[in-house]
Amino acid sequence: MSFKFFDTLSQDFSELLNDKKEYNVIIEVDKEENKKSFTSHSVVLRYRSTYFTKELENTATNENHVKTIIKPNISSQIFEIILKYIYCGVVNIENIETKIIYELMIVANELEFEELSEKLGSYLVESKASWLRTYFSHIYHSIFDSNIINSTESVQKEVAENSNKRQLDFDEPSTGCLHDPQSKKRKMTTNRCNEFKGLNQFYNDIITKHPNLIFEYEDFTSLQEAALIYILEKDNLQLEEIEIWDYVIKWGIAQNPILPKNLEEWSKENFKTLKTTLQQCLPLIRYFHISEKDIWEKLKPYRKILGTQLWDDLNQQLIFPNQPVKSLVLPARIISNPELPQRVNEQISTIINEEHNFKTLKTTLQQCLPLIRYFHISEKDIWEKLKPYRKILGTQLWDDLNQQLIFPNQPVKSLVLPARIISNPELPQRVNEQISTIINEEHVAEISSWIDRKSTIYSLTNVPYKLQLILRGSKVGFKPKTFWNMCNGHAGTIVVAKVAETDEILGGYNPLAWDNSKYRIFDTYMETNDSFIFSLKNGNIQNSILSRVKTKSRAHYYNYNDHHEIWGPCFGDLKFLFKYKLRGYDLTNEKICSCSSNSIYYEKSIRTSEYFSILDYEVFKIVKK
Question: What confidence tens digit (pLDDT) does each residue in 66-89 have?
Answer: 999 999 999 999 999 999 899 888
* Residue 447: Cβ within 10 Å count: 26
142 in Cβ contact with 120 (< 8 Å): no
Give the class (CATH, top level) of 6-134.
alpha beta
Express each pLDDT in 290-334 by its tens digit: 998 899 899 999 999 998 899 989 988 887 888 898 999 999 988
Ramachandran category for residue 205: left, alpha or beta (phi over 0 → left; psi -120 to 50 → alpha) = alpha
Whether the per-residue pLDDT at 241 is higher than 90: the answer is yes
Residue 426's CB: how many other CB atoms inside 10 A?
Answer: 4
In this prediction the pTM is: 0.43
Q: Provide the 3-class DSSP secondary structure of residue 182.
A: coil
How far is Cα 448 from Cα 466, in angstroms, rounded to an integer? 9
352 vs 526: which has the higher pLDDT: 526
String of DSSP letters for 438-465: S--HHHHHHHHHHHTT-SSPPPTT---E
Q: pLDDT tens digits, residue range 323-377?
A: 898 999 999 988 775 443 344 344 444 444 444 568 888 889 989 999 999 988 9
Q: Greater confidence, 34 or 241? A: 241
d(C-alpha 607, C-alpha 447), whole Å:
18
Ramachandran region, residue 95 (left: φ > 0; alpha: ψ -120 to 50; beta: rest)? left
Instruction: Give 169's pLDDT tier (boundaries 50, 70, 90).
Output: very low
Per-residue confidence band for 100, with pLDDT thresholds at 50, 70 and 90:
very high
Residues 259, 260, 266, CA angle at the centre, nearest 5°? 90
Q: Given this model, what pLDDT does residue 346 score?
A: 40
Q: Mean pLDDT in the chain?
A: 78
Q: Which pLDDT tens digit goes with each residue over 15-38?
A: 677 777 778 999 999 988 889 999
Phi/psi class of residue 307: alpha, beta or left (left: φ > 0; alpha: ψ in -120 to 50)?
A: left
- Helices 114-127 & 197-209, crossing angle to 10 degrees? 40
Residue 239's Cβ-count burial label (10 Å; 0-12, 13-18, 19+) is: buried
Q: How far apart are CA 625 and CA 613, in angstroms?
A: 34
For the purposes of burial, counting CB atoms within 10 Å of the CB of 549, is it exposed (0-12), middle (13-18) or buried (19 or more)?
buried
Q: How far is CA 163 from CA 167, 237, 417, 484, in A?
A: 9, 21, 53, 43
Q: Where are the beta strands (DSSP E) in 363-500?
A: 465-472, 493-499
507 touches 496 (CB < 8 A): yes
Instruction: For residue 98, count other CB atoms closer than 10 A to its CB.
Output: 17
Cβ-in-10-Å burial (0-12, 13-18, 19+) of 209 comes to middle
| Closest to 140 (Cα-Cα) out of 186, 104, 193, 101 | 193
Q: What are the residue ranges spanned by the domains of the chain?
A: 6-134, 163-319, 358-406, 443-624
CB 465 within 8 A of CB 448: yes
Measured CA to CA in angstroms, residue 24 lies from 13, 177, 623 at distances of 16, 42, 66
Chain centroid, CA 493 distance in Å: 25
For residues 350, 351, 352, 358, the Cα torsion angle rounded to the nearest 10 degrees is -120
